Structure 1
Amino acid sequence: MAGSDTEPRQTPEELQAEIDREQRRLAETLDELSEQARPSNIAKRQIGRAKERGARILDEARALVVGGGAVRVESRVVRPEEGSIVLKGDDKVVTTYQSRGRLPTEALILAAGVGTIVAVGVVAWAVRRKRG
């Protein structure tokens, strides 16, 4: 055996400094995880996602009803910052729309008609359910 194989590669002070750095890094990571795992923060993220999805669905429905009044310009996935802790589903889709102008009268009449039909259907369903 050569003498260099048994000699330490780092001094005890260097080893202690490295251990201290890793402990601080681990403590920071644990703090971040506990902050993200807090129920109130999870609820806030879920509410934010629901709002984003609802807005996206509303935009898509508006584009369909208008029949060309709004055009999707761009859709892209926005990834979290590098080094951040990612939970499943943290990616966000950002969609940009551009209006072509004022809504045509036919689209407004169609939207009002669909809204009326849905409202009558909900009322009929509620009355029927209450009787049954």
Structure 2
Amino acid sequence: MTGHETEPRQTPAELQAEITREQRRLAETLDELSVQARPANIARRQIDRAKDRGTRIFDEARALVFGGGAVRVESRLVHPEEGSIVVKGDDKVVTTYQSRGQLPPEALILMAGVGTVVAVGVVAWAVRRRRK
């Protein structure tokens, strides 16, 4: 072994600077955690999550009923980055939608025909009921 293999790799000033940086980083992380852990912020996140779920369910129901322009293809849970701190329930769900495109003209004609038949049937039923 030579003499310089036993020498410290960092000087005391460099070690102190590294310790100071880590302390600052830890303090910032603790500040972020304290902000995330406030009851008002937790409640706000839960309300936002409920609104997002409600909106997503409403959009899907509307697409099923009215033949909206998009259909859900997949939903998956996104895991946080390695080393990040996550408060319980902060996972994100990413949903992929695909455009349905326009309906073919035959489908539009068929829907118009069915609508006309239903309308005529309702009118005929109302007239017949009125005569009795």
Please say whether Structure 1 and Structure 2 have the same fold, judged by a TM-score greater than 0.5. yes
Alignment RMSD = 3.7
Structure 1 pair 69–7 and aligned structure 2 pair: CA distance change class (3 A): closer
Counterpart amino acid of 1:71?
A
Q: CA deviation at 1:92?
A: 3.4
Larger radius of gyration: 2
1:33 aligns with 33
Q: Name the SS for the 2:70 alignment partner.
A: strand
Aligned to 1:92: 93
Contact 1:71 1:97 in 2 (8 A): yes
Residue identity in the other structure for 2:93: K
How many percent identity over aligned positions?
Answer: 61
Shift of 1:95: 5.5
Q: Is the 8 A contact 1:72 1:98 kept in 2?
A: yes
- In structure 1, list runs of 5 or more residues that go unmatched: 107-132
* Correspondence for 1:24: 24
Q: What's the CA shift for 1:6?
A: 3.4
Alignment correspondent of 1:48: 48
CA deviation after TM superposition for structure 1 residue 25, in Å: 0.7
TM-score calculated relative to the size of structure 2: 0.58
- Quote the residue 1:57 is aligned against: 57
- Partners of 2:98 and 2:7 in 1: CA distance: 66
Q: Which residue of 1 aligns with 2:70?
A: 71
- 2:107 is aligned to none
Deviation readout 1:25-82 (Å, 9 max, x if unpaired): 111111111111111111111100000000011111112222x244327666695986
| Compared CA separation, residues 14 and 89, structure 1 to 2 (3 A) | closer
**Using CA pairs below 8 Å that are at least 6 residues apart, which structure has the higher relative contact order?**
1
What is the aligned length? Answer: 106
Distance 1:94 1:73, change over 3 A: closer
How much has 1:9 moved relative to structure 2? 1.6
Question: Which TM-score applies when normalising by structure 1?
Answer: 0.58
Distance 1:69 1:31, change over 3 A: closer
Question: CA offset at residue 10 of structure 1?
Answer: 1.3
Q: Supply the AA of the counterpart residue of 2:70.
A: V
